[in-house]
């Protein structure tokens, strides 16, 4: 392979792409020619909003190696890869990689993926080799042979959370516990010590068997608010027809509380905690209002009596579907910086998850955030005003998921336990929850 370039390989979990861009910017400011590329798959569009756009060739839109070589320039960053589909790019050929290494000053390579999760167990198998010495078979990360430095990224935003919720390939942990000197299981609460031990056992130690280069552990975190937002709206969509349930499910009772009220209480708690935390820790003031879109007199009367801070918007056109409730929430108050949309049939969703998702969104460089249960994107989701116009184009019984899927590069994902994302659509769902009253009420507190 070409050996002119300084090749830096970035592997691990959540925060790799941001780290790649930060490294590239640092070298470009030193008047180096820089390429960002991948040996696996990478988001097709990269976020560069916090950096000087003059440093990036074509705003980091992906280009071929041929175009990068033709336009090489000192102090410029090029994003090189082969377009695989609408959302990803894949690795370039070995010959193209060799050409880049012979011409550019710095090549920064993202070498594995983590499904947006802050921790990961890579596909590395340990086998007995000659003289009974352990050898590692690498399936990932895919690190170029000519790499001169390796950076392992793990996310400190996993601290305080269940390991099974925040670790990609968690299912492989049981096969690799011999590599780590501590007892871990799915319900283990992550600490910084655990993060460092996992990174050493699952990345640094095996990599050292194959590469005699410097290896650095970088712990990414979301602890500084990047968005200068003044006002956010929480839009609660509670005007559905409940066709699958047979009657208005939001009026059903669990342990003395209406279904909609269980979630509303937790939304109110999350709102108060967010405002308090932002004011105390960051000396900033943010206003959060709660807007309930409904079409039920009993709910309206209860809100006016018990939840006087909640603003009420009536939806008289339920037949237009969920999209109409969403659009009513947007048009009620367009002069906000972001809107978070909630479905009101998720009794297990916790106030802490709501609070954490919104806070991490404010600390991220993304314009959308949503929940994820390790299998798929879930409600609630928050959108900056950048997407309001697109939201207002929705029609029928469709939510905002199609907008998220078209803009995955702009999405911050907050992973939560599957139990929190279960919604109640049918009477069988409600029967299942009738056995969880104690659990649900514990969540409210």
Whose tokens are 């941001």? That residue is 18
99: region left, alpha or beta (phi > 0 left; psi from -120 to 50 alpha): alpha
Rg (CA), the chain: 24
Contact at 8 Å (CB) between 166 and 231? no
Structure confidence at residue 136 (pLDDT): 61
Domain boundary, last residue among 193, 220, 247? 220
Domain assignment present for residue 226? The answer is no
**Model confidence pLDDT, tens digit, residues 38-75:** 999 888 889 888 889 999 999 999 999 999 999 999 99
Cα angle value 166/168/173 (rounded, 5°): 100
Q: What percent of the chain has pLDDT over 90?
A: 70
In three-state secondary structure terms, 127 is strand
Same domain membership, residue 57 and residue 98: yes
Q: Based on the domain organization, do 152 and 269 belong to the same domain? A: no
Please indicate, yes or no, whether residues 216 and 236 belong to a single structural domain of this protein: no
Residues 236, 211 share a domain = no
Range of the domain at 319: 231-444
The predicted pLDDT at position 128 comes to 61
CB 194 within 8 A of CB 163: yes
Q: Is the pTM of this model over 0.95?
A: no
Mean pLDDT, residues 330-352: 94
Asked if residue 203 lies in contact with residue 112, where contact means CB atoms within 8 angstroms, the answer is no
Q: Answer left, alpha or beta for residue 115, where phi above 0 means left and psi between -120 and 50 means alpha.
A: left
Length of the chain: 445
Q: Read off the pLDDT of residues 271-326 as tens digits, 9 standing for 90 and up.
A: 999 999 999 999 999 999 999 999 999 999 999 999 999 999 999 888 788 899 99
- The distance from CA 345 to its chain's CA centroid, rounded to whole angstroms, is 23
Domain boundary among 220, 242, 269: 220
Q: What is the mean pLDDT of residues 395-405?
A: 89
User: Which range has highest mean pLDDT (320-324, 334-338, 417-421)?
Assistant: 334-338
CATH of the domain at 335: 3.90.550.10
Instruction: Determine, yes or no, domain membership for 342.
Output: yes
Domain shared by 214 and 337, yes or no: no
Cα dihedral: 212, 101, 17, 73 (round 10): 140
| Residues 69 and 146 placed together within one structural domain of the fold | yes
In a domain? residue 136: yes
More confident residue, 316 or 215: 215
Q: With contact defined as beta carbons under 8 Å apart, do 414 and 353 qualify? A: yes
Domain termination site, one of 220, 247, 264: 220
Half-sphere exposure of residue 92: CA atoms within 13 angstroms, side-chain side: 26
Looking at every residue in the chain, the average pLDDT score rounds to 90
pLDDT at 13: 95
For residue 256, what are the contacts with CB-CB under 8 A and spacing of at least 6? Answer: none
**What distance in Å separates the CA atoms of residue 112 and residue 140, rounded to the nearest whole number?**
6
Residue 199 lies in a domain: yes
Q: 218-254: per-residue pLDDT in tens? A: 999 999 999 999 999 999 999 877 777 878 889 988 8
Structural domain includes residue 225:
no
Q: Which residues have a Cβ under 8 Å from the Cβ of 41 and sit 6 or more positions away?
A: 84, 88, 89, 90, 113
pLDDT of residue 418: 87
- What the block records as the tokens of 11 is 């592997």
Position 400 scores a pLDDT of: 93
- For residues 334 and 383, is the Cβ–Cβ distance under 8 A? no
Question: What's the Cα-to-Cα distance from 22 to each of 47, 50, 54, 193, 214, rounded to whole Å?
Answer: 11, 10, 15, 25, 19
Q: What is the DSSP letter of 75?
A: T
What are 156-192's pLDDT values in tens digits? 999 999 999 999 988 877 666 666 778 888 999 999 9
Residue 339: predicted pLDDT = 98
Element (DSSP H or E) covering residue 334: none
Q: Residue 427: pLDDT above 50?
A: yes
Decide if 1 is inside a domain.
no
Distance of alpha carbon 92 from the chain centroid: 26
Q: Has residue 88 got a pLDDT over 70?
A: yes
215 with 253, same domain: the answer is: no
H-only helix segments in 33-75 = 65-70
* Structural domains counted in the chain: 2
Token pair, residue 93, equals 């050929």
Whether residue 104 contacts residue 425, with contact meaning beta carbons closer than 8 Å, is answered with: no
Does residue 115 sit in the same domain as residue 208? yes
In a domain, 68, yes or no: yes
Whether residues 162 and 264 fall in one domain: no
284 and 306 inside one domain: yes
User: Domain of 24: which CATH number?
Assistant: 3.40.50
User: Are residue 183 and residue 328 in the same domain, yes or no?
Assistant: no
Q: Distance between CA 178 and CA 181 in Å, rounded?
A: 7
Supply φ then ψ for residue 197, to 5 degrees. -65, -40
Q: Are both 179 and 295 inside the same structural domain?
A: no
Average pLDDT over residues 109-116: 93
Is the pLDDT reported for residue 154 higher than 90? yes
* 15 has a pLDDT exceeding 60: yes
Any domain includes 284: yes
- Mean pLDDT along residues 1-14: 86
Q: Which residues contact 427 (CB under 8 A, 6 or more apart)?
A: 245, 246
């Amino acid at each position: 392979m070409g050996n002119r370039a300084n090749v830096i390989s970035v592997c691990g979990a959540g925060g790799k792409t941001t780290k790649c861009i930060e490294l590239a910017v640092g070298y470009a400011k030193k008047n180096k020619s820089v390429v960002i590329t991948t040996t696996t798959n990478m988001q097709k569009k990269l976020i560069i909003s916090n950096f000087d756009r003059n440093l990036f060739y074509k705003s980091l839109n992906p280009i071929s190696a041929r175009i990068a070589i033709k336009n090489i320039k000192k102090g410029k960053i090029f994003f090189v890869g082969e377009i695989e589909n609408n959302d990803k790019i894949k690795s370039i050929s070995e010959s193209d990689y060799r050409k880049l290494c012979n011409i550019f000053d710095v090549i920064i390579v993202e070498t594995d993926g983590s499904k947006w999760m802050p921790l990961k167990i890579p596909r590395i198998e340990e086998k007995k080799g000659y003289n009974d010495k352990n050898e590692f078979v690498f399936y990932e990360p895919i690190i170029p042979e000519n790499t001169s430095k390796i950076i392992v990224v793990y996310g400190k935003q996993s601290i305080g959370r269940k390991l099974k919720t925040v670790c990609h390939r968690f299912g492989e942990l049981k096969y690799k516990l011999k590599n780590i000197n501590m007892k871990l299981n799915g319900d283990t609460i992550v600490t910084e010590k655990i993060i460092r031990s996992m990174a050493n056992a699952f990345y640094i130690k095996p990599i050292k068997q194959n590469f005699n280069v410097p290896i650095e552990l970088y712990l990414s975190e979301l602890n500084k608010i990047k968005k200068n937002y003044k006002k956010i709206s929480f839009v609660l969509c509670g005007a559905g027809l409940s066709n699958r349930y047979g009657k208005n499910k939001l009026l059903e009772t669990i342990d003395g509380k209406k279904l909609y009220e269980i979630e509303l209480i937790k939304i109110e708690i999350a709102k108060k905690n967010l405002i308090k935390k932002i004011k105390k820790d960051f000396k900033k003031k943010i206003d959060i209002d709660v807007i309930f879109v409904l079409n039920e007199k009993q709910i309206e009367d209860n809100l006016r009596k018990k939840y006087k801070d909640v603003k009420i918007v009536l939806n008289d056109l339920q037949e237009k579907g969920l999209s109409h409730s969403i659009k009513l929430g947007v048009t009620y108050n367009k002069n906000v910086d972001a809107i978070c949309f909630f479905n009101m049939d998720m009794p297990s969703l916790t106030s802490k998850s709501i609070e954490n998702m919104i806070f991490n969104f404010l600390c991220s460089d993304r314009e959308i955030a949503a929940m994820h249960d390790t299998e798929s994107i879930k409600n609630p989701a928050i959108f900056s005003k950048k997407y309001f116009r697109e939201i207002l184009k929705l029609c029928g019984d469709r939510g905002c998921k199609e907008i998220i899927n078209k803009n995955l590069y702009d999405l911050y994902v907050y992973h939560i336990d599957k139990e929190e994302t279960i919604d109640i659509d049918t009477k069988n769902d409600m029967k299942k929850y009738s056995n969880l009253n104690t659990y649900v009420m514990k969540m409210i507190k």
